[in-house]
Structure 1
Amino acid sequence: MKISLFYEFPLPRPWSEDDEHQLFQHGLTEVEAADKAGFSTVWLTEHHFLEEYCHSTAPEMFLAAASQRTKNVRLGFGVMHLLPNINPPARIAERVATLDHLSNGRVEYGTGEGSSVAELGGFNVDPADKRAQWEEALEVSIRCMTEEPFSGFKGEHVEMPARNVVPKPLQKPHPPVWVACTRPSSVEMAAQKAIGALSFAYTGPEALKERVDGYYRDFEEQGAPVTPAINPNILAIGGDLSMMVAKSDEEALKRLGTGGGFFSFGIMHYYLTGMHTPGRTKVWERYQEAVKEDPTLAYGPGRGAIGSPDTVREFLRGYEASGVDEIILLLNPRSHEGTMESIEIMGNEILPEFIERDEKAVADKAKRLEPVIEKVEARRRPSEAPLFDETYAFGGLPTGRNKFTAGEIPEAMAEINEGRVKAAQQEKAAREAAG
């Protein structure tokens, strides 16, 4: 089992002027340490307008910076929103491919639809359309990464003419593709499409085993690839996967404080029960009030990788026994020092044995899946992408309604040419006067 980190960049109020700057700087320092410690992947979410709960609004920017401070840890979008109003597919392809080059081929392409009123409403997306938008955008973004040129697409939600989208990713044909799965039916869908499942698991390792077994059963029996490269993997992330490691259980709990439950509370607030006034509602304050009423909202022993090395080791072994390919550990709000110590202890005392066993597990899995993948690939449907029209070309000035012409460039070029003519005339006059 691979062990990775998950960044939401929560920032509870009250805020000082330097808090957001410090948040990202601390994150980069932590990721650099995680790379040296041996964590598999750093996954970074994308959310918009979810103040306090998540300030990770431009994951490609942070991951690009992290790529220059790390060498081995993989860099995952966990996830990028594929709704065209938020991220047009061609722009997704450009950003993913650019990061893939900057990181020397370490990108994991996690995708999702989005679910909150804040985001769907903020970008004018009808929730009834989001699955269809994701499906179209996934197809177009992957085709933009792999076709030379992309031959065009006209769907219900995405329409784009032929263009050669550059750069192309370093990983060929494209980085591994994942989808966020909040329900068992989503995990089933991921298996059927032969892509990775980023599965939210709040039920512990015992129930997770059923989900893992179901994913691989559906992959074998119904998997039909929708991307050029398949990605048969399932990982777990959830409210019960916070991380705070210290020399003793008592010290870990002290450093964790009440922050470990903020992830789940934030989901409830923004996705289910909360009413939010932008820039006014104090989410952390509400969380603290809720913890006073019900202390179990703040996580303790057994509800995450929380405690001494021995405690955390046994906790992780339970998830390893479920057969899940990877788990993602959440980081506590405003806990930079504790997080840094946790990463160091994980690297020195816990990760090595899991990394060693994972290397063997990956080799055994590849051998076991060989005949399964052959069956899955046999179900691959022929591409329905249109052939590129070799007579197609574009050029000239952009024109719009009412015969509007975007003439900025011709005017600028005329001004440049006029300046050149004047300069030449002045130079000639100066030579004549001197001669």
Structure 2
Amino acid sequence: MKFSMIFEAQLADPTVEREHQLLRDCVEQAVFAEEMGFDRIWAVEHHALKWYAHMSAPEIFLTWVAARTTTIRIGHGVVCMPFNFNHPVRVAERAAMLDLLSGGRLDLGAGRGGTEQETSLCGVDRDRTTQEVEEALRIIGQAWQKDELEYEGELLRIGPHPVLPRPRQTPHPPLFLACSRAETLTRAAELGIGALVMGFAGPEAVGQMRAAYDAARAARSGDSFVSTAVNDHFSVLCPTIVLDDGAEARRIGTRGQRFFAQAIGHWYGGTGVPDEAVVEGADEAAEMRKAAEQVVARLHEHDIPVRPNATATFNADHAYGTAEDAIAHVKRLRDAGADEIMCLVQMGTVPQAACMETLRQWGEKVIPYFRETASRETASRETASQEAASRGTAR
């Protein structure tokens, strides 16, 4: 199992000074994550989402981090692939350059960037985003495997051109798709690409999503693959704050997640601006429930069906507490089918000190627990295999 962290560059009570410090803090966390033994960092791409994500140019952020690190993998989680955000050939060029200069450490995820706030900024046709994302993946999958790209699809036609440079990884960096619903998981499997599962609903829901992904993998024919290089990696979001004081970690984590959930509700569902006030001694679990009830009331008001995803972000059953609490939660995610635990630490109201301490606790206690367990299991299997071989020889 792999361990990573994802950066949204979330910011409560945004000012220019706080924004600038936030991005420097994210770099500090990413560099420290390598020291603490994390396998990968991911960076999102969002545009014009005040009170939510200020990570508008992840290719710059990831390049800066790559230059300051040596081993940790660098992931786009994700590039907004509709053409008016990023032309597919430009994505391929930038990604290959970063993969080359980082020594082959890049992973490339795709997503829609589908909020009205973002699509209206860049003139994106919201009705075509899903189709454009898939066509972009097909173009990128081909661009890196031919001396000259020539493509004729339903939406784009590209005459013969070399796409330069070629990436370090052969034939190209692993491809992923952001997935929050069974339909997108099924499509990711059919396309032959990994899943970045952004669900908040908990390990049971992760298990159901893994089952949907695996069922689609088992049923696929390969006709829809976007590349000859198939990636079946299943990465799962894990909000987490870990401190020696478990109660304080839960308070900070739940407060940060409430801000995150309210920000998502604001930009994706038209609810109010996130509540930025932090009241000392507040019952954060109660405040989380209250915020979820407000979202449900808003949906009822507009006669919009209340689906499970509508309130999933308000589920606070995550890796908040002590290292032992985090280990117990990660076990549940592992058993649900996670190939990778994608830690969400940097939430809008979480202080930098709590972020750094969380990374230290994961690096010193949580990650080693699972790596040592895996080593023992491997050694046990090898011993059993050797003993079986010896018995066979003796006969």
Q: How does the TM-score come out when normalised to structure 1?
A: 0.75
8 Å contact from structure 1 (residues 2, 354) kept in 2: no
In 2, distance between residues paired with 1:360 and 1:53?
Answer: 42
8 Å contact from structure 1 (residues 35, 70) kept in 2: yes
8 Å contact from structure 2 (residues 259, 276) kept in 1: no
Deviation at 1:93, TM superposition (A): 0.5
8 Å contact from structure 2 (residues 36, 360) kept in 1: yes
Aligned to 2:359: 343
For residues 8-27 of structure 1, what are the structure 2 equivalents within 5 Å? 8-15=8-15, 17-27=16-26
How far does the alpha carbon of each residue in 1:109-128 deviate from its partner, in whole angstroms, 9 at most, with x for none?
10112221111222222222
Deviation at 1:207, TM superposition (A): 2.7
Aligned to 2:321: 307
- What are structure 1's unaligned runs of at least 5 residues? 276-281, 364-435
How far does the alpha carbon of each residue in 1:121-172 deviate from its partner, in whole angstroms, 9 at most, with x for none?
222222221121112111112222222121x223343232221111111001
Matched, 1:316 2:313: no
Change (3 A) 1:361 1:138: farther
Q: Counterpart of 1:219 in structure 2: which amino acid?
A: R
Q: What RMSD in Å do the two structures reach over aligned CA positions?
A: 2.8
Deviation at 1:204, TM superposition (A): 1.4
Aligned to 2:52: 53
Aligned to 1:31: 30
Q: Counterpart of 2:170 in structure 1: which amino acid?
A: K
Q: Secondary structure at the match of 1:162?
A: strand
Aligned to 1:90: 89
Match of 2:200 among 202, 224, 233: 202
8 Å contact from structure 2 (residues 262, 275) kept in 1: no
Q: Secondary structure at the match of 1:165?
A: coil
For residues 64-213 of structure 1, what are the structure 2 equivalents within 5 Å? 64-150=63-149, 152-213=150-211
In 1, distance between residues paired with 2:335 and 2:88?
Answer: 38
In 2, distance between residues paired with 1:128 and 1:359?
Answer: 48
Q: Counterpart of 2:96 in structure 1: which amino acid?
A: A
- What are structure 2's unaligned runs of at least 5 residues? 293-312, 380-395
Change (3 A) 1:274 1:357: same
Q: Counterpart of 1:347 in structure 2: which amino acid?
A: G
For residues 373-412 of structure 1, what are the structure 2 equivalents within 5 Å? none
Deviation at 1:359, TM superposition (A): 7.0
In 2, distance between residues paired with 1:113 and 1:302?
Answer: 26
Deviation at 1:83, TM superposition (A): 0.8
Change (3 A) 1:243 1:19: same
8 Å contact from structure 1 (residues 84, 158) kept in 2: no
Deviation at 1:234, TM superposition (A): 1.4
In 1, distance between residues paired with 2:119 and 2:374?
Answer: 38
In 1, distance between residues paired with 2:92 and 2:326?
Answer: 38
In 1, distance between residues paired with 2:338 and 2:231?
Answer: 14
Match of 2:269 among 249, 254, 272: 272
Change (3 A) 1:194 1:257: closer
Q: Secondary structure at the match of 1:329?
A: strand
Change (3 A) 1:213 1:256: closer
Moved more, 95-104 or 53-62: 95-104
Deviation at 1:174, TM superposition (A): 0.6
In 2, distance between residues paired with 1:169 and 1:358?
Answer: 32
Q: Counterpart of 2:24 in structure 1: which amino acid?
A: Q
How far does the alpha carbon of each residue in 1:338-394 deviate from its partner, in whole angstroms, 9 at most, with x for none?
11111111111110122345579999xxxxxxxxxxxxxxxxxxxxxxxxxxxxxxx
Moved more, 328-337 or 130-139: 328-337
Change (3 A) 1:286 1:154: farther
Change (3 A) 1:295 1:194: closer
Aligned to 2:259: 262
Deviation at 1:292, TM superposition (A): 10
Moved more, 41-50 or 138-147: 138-147
Deviation at 1:258, TM superposition (A): 1.8
Larger radius of gyration: 1
Deviation at 1:99, TM superposition (A): 0.9
Count of residues in Structure 1 that have an aligned counterpart in Structure 2: 352
8 Å contact from structure 1 (residues 212, 323) kept in 2: yes
Q: How does the TM-score come out when normalised to structure 2?
A: 0.82
Deviation at 1:226, TM superposition (A): 2.2
Aligned to 1:236: 236
